[in-house]
Amino acid sequence: MKILINSAAMFFLCALTFFFQYQLLAADSREKPNVMTSVSPITNMVQNIGGVHIRATGIVPDGVDSHTFEPIPSDIKTLRAADLIIMNGLDLELPTLKLAEKVKKKTALILQLGNRALKEEDWQYDFSFPREHGHPNPHVWLNIELSMRYAEIIREELIALDPANKAAYQANAATYLGKLKKLDQAIFVCVETIPEKNRKLVTYHDSFAYFAPRYGMTVIAAVQPSDFSEPGPQEVMNIIKQIRRTGVPAIFGSEVFPSKVMEQIAREANVKFVDQLSDDELPAPPHHSFIGMMAKNVAIMTEALGGTPNCMAKVDTGNIHF
């Protein structure tokens, strides 16, 4: 009798084990949603929140000027396969947006984060993005308070796309938002270490229009004209005079926008030229993340303007799942 009971129990355990293995196999074999993204910071946000439950593909290569990027024929296949297309919006990816609207599947949603996160009255127009041209400054994600809003919107859209994994998206987003909040707090600490008279930014491309007011800084000039050409001699002289007048100790460029003009301006104004800031190119591993990009930016900026860059030392720049 005892042997029969043990045999029945063993059979039940084997059947139960088989059932759970089958369920796991079925879950693994389900087709993951295809999520197409644009610039690297947004791609990285989506990867952290979507984790293992989505297949995320960034369409704008890391280090490529997102303003002038034109999709290539192979991108049509990516856009056609997408279940969700996530862009920054605010006219940043117009060629890609137009192509996506033509080739996407009928059920695929195009999500423009900047248009969703900001009211039109909060759009910024400035040196590189004058109001008369009609295209607002799109660099919303450099303001971490607004990038947290991006993360919340991404979470909700992934849940709508794939409700079966709602709990995972909520958990990932909670972890990621916690990391962003710590980054946001650290940036305030960094800026506080910069002498108040130095909390001014002169950049080549005007990427910091949303960043500066959030953290108590002022963008006093951007060198690159709105048509992405090099500035003329009179514009260069005006910027040099402005730098001398304000006493800013450093000006900033980017490897994505190499410019001999910035070197010339720095020499004639007798200030330091730092060409290592990035608005959308992620740093090399182990800091290959949006948070890593921002931590590096702020550390470089803080040191060049007379502050203490180790305020970023405790920021976790790692990704959640990869």
For residue 200, how many other CB atoms are within 10 A of its CB? 22
Interval 246-272: pLDDT, tens? 999 999 998 666 678 899 999 999 999
pLDDT of residue 64: 82
- What gap in Å lies between CA 96 and CA 94, rounded to an integer? 5
- In 195-285, where do the E strands start and end? 200-203, 218-222, 250-252, 272-274
pLDDT of residue 256: 66
Q: Which residue has the higher pLDDT, 8 or 174?
A: 174
Kindly state the average pLDDT of the residues 174-190: 98
Interval 122-141: pLDDT, tens? 999 987 888 988 899 999 99
CATH of domain 31-181: 3.40.50.1980
Cis peptide upstream of residue 71 (ω within 30 degrees of 0): no
Q: What are the tokens at 240? A: 């040099």
Task: List all residues 6 or more positions away from 75 whose beta carbon is below 8 Å from its beta carbon.
Answer: 59, 96, 99
For residue 190, how many other CB atoms are within 10 A of its CB? 24
Kindly state the average pLDDT of the residues 279-286: 92
Work out the percent of the chain whose per-residue pLDDT is above 90: 75
pLDDT of residue 68: 82
Query: Residue ranges per domain, the chain?
Result: 31-181, 189-312
pLDDT of residue 133: 86
How does DSSP assign 151-177, residue by residue? HHHHHHHHHHH-GGGHHHHHHHHHHHH
Interval 13-62: pLDDT, tens? 544 455 445 444 444 446 899 999 999 999 999 999 999 999 999 999 88
257, 293 Cβ separation under 8 angstroms: no
Check for a shared fold between 31-181 and 189-312.
Answer: yes
Instruction: Give the chain's mean pLDDT.
Output: 89
Amino acid at 295: A
Kindly state the average pLDDT of the residues 188-204: 96
For domain 189-312, the CATH superfamily is Nitrogenase molybdenum iron protein domain (3.40.50.1980)
Kindly state the average pLDDT of the residues 94-113: 96
Work out the percent of the chain whose per-residue pLDDT is above 70: 89
Q: For residue 305, which of 208, 225, 229, 237 has the smallest C-alpha distance?
A: 208
How does DSSP assign 287-306, residue by residue? S-SHHHHHHHHHHHHHHHTT
pLDDT of residue 7: 56
Using pLDDT thresholds of 50, 70 and 90, give the confidence band for residue 148. very high
